[in-house]
Structure 1
């Protein structure tokens, strides 16, 4: 074998060794996997949990209301963040419109119910938040709805609309904290075919 052929053979071997150690990062591949995962179910997972509602810590179950009314789920990262305050206020502002569509709203984060309670006392005094904040400390709910950011351990900012048959009608995940949910459009789209 010539020295040029030996050199090419060594270079090829080195490239193969490097490619075995270093996997190229393809952000589109991850997005594609997440998109495929989000379509793995049309029916919403049922869940039980603890929530804060009207200044009380209460148990909540989707079985109690899912067959009776439509549901809007707002997932957010953490209590006390400006993004959480803005998202909850925006959902609160359109709650009357949601109610006319025979719907109920829930907000969910991985914070504890005690953290939710303190958050509501500080940011929404006199029970001005008109829907329950669900504590998902085990991260089961966020994982079941496929909105858990595994790297940070918190929920991605998401809005999910579920009809009373338990089918997901709308699913939106926001990647940037400065982008706001468009609740009006989401709600009208989500219940258009209910």
Structure 2
């Protein structure tokens, strides 16, 4: 079953964020757009390139009113150690959520049970706490923050413009479509 348009299940976790340990729950998602960015593990190879890309584009996410939650099955203590030892990870200004109980990874259906690690999964959650976008990549394929930004802009656009849809490769400011009987077979 797809998780699209389902509500994020209740959770409570500890995150490392801006030099502190903080609690994060599903209640923190209400009223704003959020990204859950699952990655396999700290101190790895593809993961820091992805997180660094998000960090380099974080101001753009913030302009859109989006908070990013980086999630792995590591503890919040491991997140702090990685943050303190990696120049790339030091750039992160968004919460790094620890999921050592594997509950959040299970809730989002990205847990690799036999490994105790999360798949490379991205979930965009709307202000009502519903999942609007899902992207899953094989462990050896990194994601692109600019493509994620484009998708979020499309999701925000259609959320605020009922009856319109964004076509393939849509970019902010470009035309959209208004599905109707008159469009059938004409695209």
TM category (shorter chain) comes to 0.7 to 0.9
CA distance in 2, matches of 1:76, 1:152: 13
Deviation at 1:127, TM superposition (A): 4.8
Deviation at 1:100, TM superposition (A): 1.6
Deviations 1:81-112 (A, max 9, x none): 12110111111122112112211111000001
Taking a change above 3 Å as real, the CA distance of residues 152 and 143 of structure 1, as seen in their structure-2 partners, is: same
Report the counterpart of residue 157 of structure 1 in structure 2: 120
Taking a change above 3 Å as real, the CA distance of residues 176 and 50 of structure 1, as seen in their structure-2 partners, is: closer
Report the counterpart of residue 138 of structure 2 in structure 1: 175
Structure 2: tracts of 5 or more residues without a match: 160-187
Select between 100-109 and 54-63 the one with higher mean Cα deviation. 54-63
Say whether 1:53 aligns with 2:17.
yes
If you compute each CA radius of gyration, which structure gives the higher value, 1 or 2? Answer: 1
CA distance in 1, matches of 2:19, 2:101: 22
CA distance in 2, matches of 1:126, 1:88: 7
Deviation at 1:125, TM superposition (A): 7.5
Report the counterpart of residue 193 of structure 1 in structure 2: 158
Give 1:139-150 correspondences, 5 Å limit.
139-150=102-113
Calculate the TM-score normalised by the size of structure 2: 0.76
Aligned partners of 1:75 and 1:108 also within 8 Å: yes
Say whether 1:137 aligns with 2:100.
yes
Aligned partners of 2:124 and 2:152 also within 8 Å: yes
CA distance in 2, matches of 1:68, 1:81: 33
Aligned partners of 2:82 and 2:89 also within 8 Å: no
| Alignment root-mean-square deviation, CA | 2.0
Deviation at 1:124, TM superposition (A): 4.1
Taking a change above 3 Å as real, the CA distance of residues 67 and 147 of structure 1, as seen in their structure-2 partners, is: same
Report the counterpart of residue 108 of structure 1 in structure 2: 71
Deviation at 1:40, TM superposition (A): 7.5
Structure 1: tracts of 5 or more residues without a match: 1-36
Say whether 1:90 aligns with 2:53.
yes
- How many residue pairs end up in the alignment? 157
Deviation at 1:190, TM superposition (A): 3.5
CA distance in 2, matches of 1:87, 1:97: 16
CA distance in 1, matches of 2:3, 2:22: 32
Taking a change above 3 Å as real, the CA distance of residues 124 and 118 of structure 1, as seen in their structure-2 partners, is: same
